[in-house]
């Protein structure tokens, strides 16, 4: 074992070759994009899961490359002033809360720096107004949705929990500190029912067994709860009995089955069968009402969503006279936020069920100036523009993690809206797309990080861009 501070290792990748299973004592200098600690040995970089900036620790290399290596945290010798004890006892094994060992203030610092670094290094921009990241007053129990795989333990018990990172090994955990307290009660009811009725969980190897996953959603304002059980079949034996047991949970409003008999990693099946109550639950963002079905995309953190969308509306700079395109619109959440301040809003989403919900949500809220299209944004917008000469004063995009398709960005440039508002859950792909737009006539004016996912390595960001008039 070697102490980096007491030995000369030579130049990284030249005089010294680092190998698997070698141990070192290092000080964590920074935090990587995924929340891992970063240490250096004479320029050779180590990425260390569960390490916190400021830790002095003993680590073991697990995978070595020429200029960097991954290492395992073996022992914290001197804890960082930013290190805290995670409230979740399985946080290290689960892997969902990758930065739970860091204080919340340190988490916010890391996320704010990650957004700025990506915009500067990938996006090649430096001149913009950067607001302090918006954190949470209470960064626990914020998720309104959770999906739990169901399986068997090594001793044959029915268990639920979450997959360990990059595996399909279930880490048993019914009490997630990011989810709502009702999750634990609901999972207990379902597992007890399965034990009593001799119903087995789905086995990905043999393809036998019935229950695959349990998806639970809770509406934070109305208190309504939805349970959707994903099954390898078309029914559950004695389902009336299961429904009766689940109705003991306060707020239970919708119980359904998602039929998925395919050999796939996709969780939800194509068919949803409601076995109790409504096929949706209702919740609010700000003063707007939304119907949420099992397949609907709805932001998982409603407290922060209100702040995120309010900031997007601010950056859009609407006066009531604008035509707005909302791309990747989901069930119309941002669209409806914008519609009350715009002349016309067009929303585009690939999932037909989401567009059905968007149209219903517009009707529920008495909004008649929002129109929705089903399809890929990168196909719908260019086609509409070519056929109708579509015009936009403002374009809002909220794409998946992979960012926007080049064809979509090219069409935005051709349409030449005055403002572009980019909402992103991945600041690296955001920065890539922002660079594309800044090289074609736009400039970044304002950037706002919003911590939608405390204790994880992820964060949301909204960027306001303005077309340059030369």
Distance CA 42, CA 44 (A): 6
Q: How many whole angstroms separate alpha carbon 63 and alpha carbon 344?
A: 54
Quote the CA–CA distance of 89 and 52 in Å, as a whole number: 17
- Alpha helix positions (H), 95-181: 104-121
Least Cα distance to 318 among 303, 332, 334, 302 occurs for: 334
Q: How far apart are CA 248 and CA 186, in angstroms?
A: 9
Distance from C-alpha of 414 to C-alpha of 218, rounded to nearest angstrom: 42
DSSP state of 242: H
Question: What are the distances in angstroms from CA 27 to CA 18, 128, 427?
Answer: 17, 33, 27
How far, in Å, CA of 371 to CA of 362, rounded? 9
Q: Are residues 445 and 416 in contact, defined by beta-carbon separation less than 8 angstroms?
A: no
9 noted as active-site residue = no
Q: Would you say 441 and 467 are in contact if contact means Cβ atoms under 8 Å apart? A: yes
Torsion on CA atoms 52, 132, 297, 215, rounded to nearest 10: 40
Q: Up-side HSE of residue 240: CA atoms within 13 Å toward CB?
A: 0
Nearby residues of 454 by Cβ (< 8 Å), 6 or more positions away:
104, 107, 135, 136, 139, 140, 142, 178
Place of tokens 């001197």: 78
Set 57, 329, 425, 461: catalytic member: 425
CA dist 162 and 468 (Å) reads 47
Largest CA distance in the chain: 73
User: Active-site residue numbers?
Assistant: 425
């Amino acid at each position: 074992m070697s102490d980096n501070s007491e030995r000369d290792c030579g130049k990284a990748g030249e005089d010294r070759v680092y190998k698997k299973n070698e141990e070192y004592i290092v000080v964590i200098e920074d935090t990587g994009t995924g929340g891992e600690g970063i240490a250096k040995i004479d320029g050779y970089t180590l990425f260390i899961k569960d390490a916190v900036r400021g830790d002095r620790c003993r680590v073991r290399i697990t995978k070595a490359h020429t200029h960097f290596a991954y290492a395992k945290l073996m022992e914290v010798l001197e804890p960082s002033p930013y290190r805290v004890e995670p409230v979740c006892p399985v946080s290290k094994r689960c892997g969902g809360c990758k930065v739970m060992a860091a204080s919340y203030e340190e988490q916010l610092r890391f996320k704010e720096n990650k957004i700025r670094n990506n915009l500067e290094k990938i996006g090649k921009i430096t001149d913009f107004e950067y607001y302090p990241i918006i954190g949470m007053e209470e960064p626990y129990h914020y998720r309104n949705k959770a999906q739990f795989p169901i399986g068997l333990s090594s001793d044959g018990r029915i268990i639920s929990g979450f997959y360990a990172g990059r595996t399909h090994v279930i880490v048993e955990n019914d009490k997630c500190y990011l989810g709502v307290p009702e999750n634990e009660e609901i999972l207990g009811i379902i597992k007890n029912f399965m034990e009593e009725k001799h119903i087995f969980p789905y086995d990905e190897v043999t393809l036998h067994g019935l229950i695959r996953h349990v998806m639970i959603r809770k509406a934070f304002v109305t208190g309504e709860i939805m349970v959707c059980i994903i099954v390898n079949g078309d029914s559950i034996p004695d389902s009336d009995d299961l429904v009766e047991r689940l109705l003991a949970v306060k707020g239970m409003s919708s119980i359904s089955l998602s039929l998925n008999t395919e050999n796939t990693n996709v969780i939800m099946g194509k068919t949803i069968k409601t076995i109790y109550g409504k096929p949706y639950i209702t919740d609010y963002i700000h003063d707007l009402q939304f119907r949420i079905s099992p397949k609907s995309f709805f932001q998982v953190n409603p407290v922060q969503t209100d702040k995120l969308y309010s900031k997007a509306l601010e950056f859009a700079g609407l006066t009531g006279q604008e035509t707005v395109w909302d791309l990747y619109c989901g069930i119309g959440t941002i669209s409806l936020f914008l519609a009350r301040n715009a002349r016309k809003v067009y929303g585009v989403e690939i999932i037909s069920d989401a567009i059905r919900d968007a149209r219903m949500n517009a009707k529920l809220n008495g909004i008649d100036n929002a129109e929705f299209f089903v399809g890929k944004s990168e196909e719908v917008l260019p086609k509409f523009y070519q056929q109708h000469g579509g015009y936009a004063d403002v374009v809002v995009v909220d794409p998946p993690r992979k960012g926007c398709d080049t064809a979509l960005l090219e069409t935005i440039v051709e349409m030449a809206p005055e403002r572009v508002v980019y909402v992103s859950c991945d600041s690296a792909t955001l920065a890539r797309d922002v660079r594309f737009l800044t090289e074609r006539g736009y400039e970044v004016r304002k950037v706002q990080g919003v911590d939608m996912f405390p204790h994880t390595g992820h964060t949301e960001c909204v960027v306001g861009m303005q077309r340059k008039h030369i």
